[in-house]
Chain A
Amino acid sequence: MSWENEINDIYRRRELARQQGGEAGIARQHAKGRLTLRERIDALVDTDSFDEIGRGAGAPEHGPNGELTGFTPANFVLGFARIDGRRVIVGGEDFTIKGGSPSPAGLRKSVYTEDLALQYKLPLVRLHEGAGGSVGGSGGPSLPAPVFAPSRFRSVAQTLKQVPVASAALGAVAGLPAARLVASHFSVMSETTAQILVAGPKVVERAMGEKLSKEALGGAGVHARNGTVDNGAPDEQGALDQIKRFLAFMPDNVHQLAPVRPCDDPVDRAEDLLADIVPRERRRAYDMRRVLQAVVDLNSFFEIGRGYGRSQITGLARLNGQPVGVWGNDCRHLAGSMTADGAQKAQRFIELCETFHLPIIAFVDEPGFMIGSQAEQDSTIRHGARTVLAAASSTVPWASVMVRKSFGVAQAAHYGPEAYVLAWPSAESGPLPVEGGVAVAFHREIAAAEDPDAKRRELEEMLAQRQSPFPRAEALAVHELIDPRETRPMLCRWIDRVQPLLPQLIPPAAR
């Protein structure tokens, strides 16, 4: 066999590549309670479905006679795989080699991950644990990239316009991997093993004089609550499970529609709890998540961004098997008002639905933009107006259910163009809630009255009557005033009606 030596070399290198950072490196990873990248991939994808690309990339070591004595694989692993039978591209940093800090071949492979997802038009999953560049360089002789090379981030940006991108932070993630982590449609961090950092404690202490642990700087307590990542998960497996759940709602790319599943939840299921979940006392809060869950297909609601912008609830769900975006106000948190961070979360949600052609159902209980000095400092109006404009420019079908309040400019964010609008008997709407409005418009009358408090209450009561949904129905300002128990049946009929509109949302192929 004339090629025997080379063939043996191929197998040898493959074997060395599979050993990752060696027994000691793997043991260190396990001792910290973390999986290795290859174990993570196995835990995520269908059994034996991982089809690796670029196993030979790395740095060889040779003996005096040119024979192979060792091989350090690239510290980024990527390939094709299947999740629930559907093909994806998956990749991530191998922390057991150089702490995931990009080696020349590792960097090349990480960039290729995005290129492959674009070429094959497949969802991209990145499993991150690694640091950014090292001041000592990436090791090995290399020239800086030529000026005519495309920007390293161009393909990262393109993936966000073309295919679903889901990412997880599973250990410490800093620098370039951290930027990649958040350049995604859905990101999740393990609350027990992950931190996300622009720069680690040593750099921060040197530059800023702040002495903080990795966890205090960029643990889940910080980043699962400020929108850096969408969700937290109790551990690595929990994070991987969330990625699977997210991808199940997604098409493979923007040229397809999201997969409709058979649904065994009856479309005419009418939940009695909906008839009295909204208290008659206008100040009394209720649990909007119960409303959402009672309407969408059983157990299909997947919440995104629960830890931040908490006055708004966003997520994905199914209606008669059709994936939809679901949005509701949480009146238990800041009365459900549109805060600066709630507005950013809602805008991200609308853009996700728009990119992947998911119809949106909105359950409206919007008292308006958050007010007060903190809200002004947060630039609530700027973020809020952007959300209103994102809704106004969207092209996906919308159905909006007026559950209770719908006030001010902020309410406009909850109704996309040509929205199908249903109102519950508890709906009240207008330019602003009566309590604030009365205090401003009638301040003289109230001040002049014998009993100002009684006068104010009388005026509030009178004006609250005018905000009733019946005149809106009479004026066809809502499509239908409904028994709340009819919400699911009516939305399921709507989702059936809009089916022929969905293929029209698909953009023409680039080539």
Chain B
Amino acid sequence: MATAITLETGGTVWKLHVKAGDEVSAGQEVFILEVMKMEVPYEAPGAGRVKEVHIAEGDVVTEGQTAIILSSS
């Protein structure tokens, strides 16, 4: 089953830690958004493999955008 990580707010992608094909564990930080000078980390909701990555470092992103799709292992 695939799970999407969607953005709670707009901002700028500051750091992206994963690429398609990576294995991630539950709670692992996968990227950091910069919002109002705060670094907002996003975590994988469950263990799985990164299926799709829709963001890149430096991207200006908007709320509700799909950032990453995970397939659960």
Q: Which residues of A contact B (CB under 8 A)?
A: 281, 283-285, 310, 331-335, 337, 435
Q: Output the nearest chain B residue to A336 by Cβ-Cβ distance.
A: B38
User: A334's contact among B36, B39, B41, by CB below 8 Å, is which?
Assistant: B36
Contact between B35 and A283, CB atoms less than 8 A apart: no
For the complex, what is the distance from the CA of A435 to the CA of B37, rounded to whole Å?
A: 10
- A–B pairs, 28, beta carbons within 8 Å: A281-B39, A283-B37, A283-B38, A283-B39, A284-B38, A284-B39, A285-B39, A285-B40, A285-B41, A310-B8, A310-B9, A331-B38, A331-B40, A332-B8, A332-B9, A332-B35, A332-B40, A333-B8, A333-B9, A333-B35, A334-B9, A334-B35, A334-B36, A335-B35, A335-B37, A335-B38, A337-B36, A435-B37
- Candidate in B8, B35, B38, B41 with the most chain A CB atoms within 10 angstroms: B38
Q: Which residues of B lie under 8 Å from residue A435 when comparing CB positions?
A: 37
For the complex, what is the distance from the CA of A24 to the CA of B49, rounded to whole Å?
A: 51
Contact with A along B5-37 (1 / 0, CB 8 A): 000110000000000000000000000000111
**Other contacts beyond A310-B9, A331-B40, A435-B37: 15, CB < 8 A:** A281-B39, A283-B37, A283-B38, A283-B39, A284-B41, A285-B38, A285-B41, A331-B38, A332-B8, A332-B38, A332-B40, A333-B8, A334-B9, A334-B35, A335-B35
Q: Which residues of A lie under 8 Å from residue B8 when comparing CB positions?
A: 310, 332-333
Tell me the minimal C-beta distance from B4 to chain A in angstroms: 17
Q: Output the nearest chain A residue to B32 by Cβ-Cβ distance.
A: A284
Contact between B41 and A335, CB atoms less than 8 A apart: no
Contact between B36 and A335, CB atoms less than 8 A apart: yes
Q: Which residues of A lie under 8 Å from residue B39 when comparing CB positions?
A: 281, 283-285
Tell me the minimal C-beta distance from A141 to chain B in angstroms: 53
For the complex, what is the distance from the CA of A125 to the CA of B54, rounded to whole Å?
A: 45
For the complex, what is the distance from the CA of A332 to the CA of B9, rounded to whole Å?
A: 8
For the complex, what is the distance from the CA of A283 to the CA of B14, rounded to whole Å?
A: 12
Tell me the minimal C-beta distance from A305 to chain B in angstroms: 15
Tell me the minimal C-beta distance from B20 to chain A in angstroms: 25
Q: Which residues of A lie under 8 Å from residue B40 when comparing CB positions?
A: 285, 331-332
For the complex, what is the distance from the CA of A283 to the CA of B41, rounded to whole Å?
A: 11
For the complex, what is the distance from the CA of A379 to the CA of B35, rounded to whole Å?
A: 22
Tell me the minimal C-beta distance from B51 to chain A in angstroms: 24
Q: Output the nearest chain B residue to A433 by Cβ-Cβ distance.
A: B37
Q: Which residues of A lie under 8 Å from residue B35 when comparing CB positions?
A: 285, 332-335
Q: Which residues of B lie under 8 Å from residue A335 when comparing CB positions?
A: 35-38
Q: Output the nearest chain A residue to B9 by Cβ-Cβ distance.
A: A333
Q: Output the nearest chain B residue to A436 by Cβ-Cβ distance.
A: B37
The 6 tightest CB contacts between A and B, nearest first, are: A335-B36, A285-B40, A335-B38, A332-B40, A284-B39, A285-B38
Tell me the minimal C-beta distance from A174 to chain B in angstroms: 27
Q: Output the nearest chain B residue to A286 by Cβ-Cβ distance.
A: B41
For the complex, what is the distance from the CA of A337 to the CA of B35, rounded to whole Å?
A: 12
- Candidate in A281, A284, A435 with the most chain B CB atoms within 10 angstroms: A284
For the complex, what is the distance from the CA of A259 to the CA of B43, rounded to whole Å?
A: 38
For the complex, what is the distance from the CA of A118 to the CA of B36, rounded to whole Å?
A: 47
Q: Which residues of B lie under 8 Å from residue A283 when comparing CB positions?
A: 37-39
Tell me the minimal C-beta distance from B67 to chain A in angstroms: 14
For the complex, what is the distance from the CA of A337 to the CA of B40, rounded to whole Å?
A: 14
Q: Which residues of B lie under 8 Å from residue A284 when comparing CB positions?
A: 38-39, 41
Q: Output the nearest chain B residue to A371 by Cβ-Cβ distance.
A: B36
Q: Which residues of B lie under 8 Å from residue A337 when comparing CB positions?
A: 36
Tell me the minimal C-beta distance from B42 to chain A in angstroms: 9
For the complex, what is the distance from the CA of A435 to the CA of B38, rounded to whole Å?
A: 12
For the complex, what is the distance from the CA of A285 to the CA of B37, rounded to whole Å?
A: 10
For the complex, what is the distance from the CA of A337 to the CA of B38, rounded to whole Å?
A: 11
Q: Which residues of B lie under 8 Å from residue A310 when comparing CB positions?
A: 8-9
Q: Which residues of B lie under 8 Å from residue A334 when comparing CB positions?
A: 9, 35-36
